[in-house]
Amino acid sequence: MGSYSEVPPVEVHCHGFGDVDFSDFTKVDLARLDTWCAREGVLSLPTMYLHRDHLTEFEDFVHEYDRMRGEGLLPHVAGIALEGPLLASHGGTPAATVWAPNRYEWERLAALGPYGLKYTVLSPDAFSPASELSDEPGARDTGFGWIVPLLAAHGIRPALGHFTRADPAAIAALVDEIVELAWQSEWAGDGVRVVTDHLFNDMPLTIRHAFRSSRARAERDTVIASYDLPSWSLDTIAEIAGPVPAAIMRQAAAGRIGACVNFDGEHVDLAIAARAVQLMGMDNSMMMTDRCDSARLGGQDLYHVVDNGLWYQEDGIVAAGSVPLARQQANALSQGLSATDVHALAGGTAHRVFGLSARSDLRLPTV
């Protein structure tokens, strides 16, 4: 990783530490969050859900973050991120936080880029007929040809995720289109212009990517052996896993996407996750936790099941993970990845992708 060899790990996509639900941003104590990050030895990009009627409060929160960052009070909070609101399929995201901003609302969100908003998760197929948002007025008022250049001009990355399963080939083409738009647009940020939400989660697949129950785990070794993971290549991955993950992986391998992969062993099988990052390259892959420490997220109550450590919402859909970054690094090492590889996944790539090393207030965490 060259100059990134000494950088601290980064919790790229996380929803809550301790009893703090980041999505309740009117109550988030940023100084306390920074102290928590220092204790764990990480930087964080707290990831939030946004209700439409809370946009003003979110603007105030980001401006307060920027003020405190400018005063050197938040050396371990590397930026702010949004999951949504432009999601074609809400998945574990609270339904009330999925909506199609109109032009004025997009302009307000984009204006937060210089103040610390690093990325916003959006669905490439958000405007398709299969999308939950296809009938919203905001969906008819905008379009990626306008949204992506607007975000880029303010240094905000589209984070691709929450896909429908209606037309995988068409969605893959939209992935390529958005990446190209971002790289052709005027860019006000540092680092890589496009990132992703979880690779393999909330997208159309032709493989079984996770084994979350005791019954599923009993079949796991046979299924994984049948996939012949060592034979996977970027040339064949579309036939193996489907066109959408293939589009993301090829764009990542080309250095045009910073791709997030969860190594908790529950969102994605660890062997599949390890093979994916080998194909994309460690310098293009980032470990994400989707972590929430408490049983509440985005205004909804969560619960565990017996078979795994994931958090579920009331309709039985996975809402978040619970495995911290240190354990994910150990999981990656258990798959034969080297310590150098794991350091890249847990921190080095994130510093490059988000341009964090250009910030003078970021330093190695101290306890």
User: Across all residues in the chain, what is the average pLDDT?
Assistant: 88
- The confidence score (pLDDT) of residue 348 equals 95
Q: Is 179 helix (H, G, I), strand (E, B) or coil?
A: helix
Question: Cα separation of 100 and 87, whole Å?
Answer: 8
What does residue 249 show for φ and ψ, rounded to 5 degrees?
-65, -40
pLDDT value of residue 362 = 47
pLDDT at 310: 67
pTM of the predicted structure, to 2 decimals: 0.91
pLDDT values of the chain reduced to their tens digit, one per residue, 367 residues: 444 457 899 999 887 777 666 767 888 889 989 998 999 899 999 999 899 999 999 999 999 999 999 999 999 999 999 998 999 987 767 888 999 999 999 999 999 999 999 999 999 999 999 998 988 877 778 999 999 999 999 999 999 999 999 999 999 999 999 999 999 999 999 999 999 998 998 899 999 988 877 888 899 999 999 999 999 999 999 999 999 999 999 999 999 999 999 998 787 999 999 999 999 999 999 998 887 666 566 667 765 676 766 657 777 676 666 678 888 999 999 999 999 999 999 999 999 999 996 554 444 443 3
pLDDT attached to residue 316: 67
Structure confidence at residue 1 (pLDDT): 40
Q: How far apart are CA 232 and CA 340, in angstroms?
A: 22
Q: How far is CA 314 from CA 161, 223, 291, 317, in A?
A: 22, 30, 18, 7
8 A C-beta contact, residue 152 and residue 113 = no
CA 354 from centroid of its chain's CA atoms: 12
Confirm if 201 and 207 have CB atoms less than 8 A apart.
no
Provide the Cα torsion 184, 185, 188, 192; round to 10°: -40
Residue 171 near residue 135 (C-beta atoms within 8 A): no
For residue range 230-256, list pLDDT tens digits in order: 999 999 999 999 999 999 999 999 999
- Half-sphere exposure at residue 4, Cβ-oriented, CA atoms within 13 angstroms: 24
Task: Kindly state the tokens that stand for 74.
Answer: 């938040």
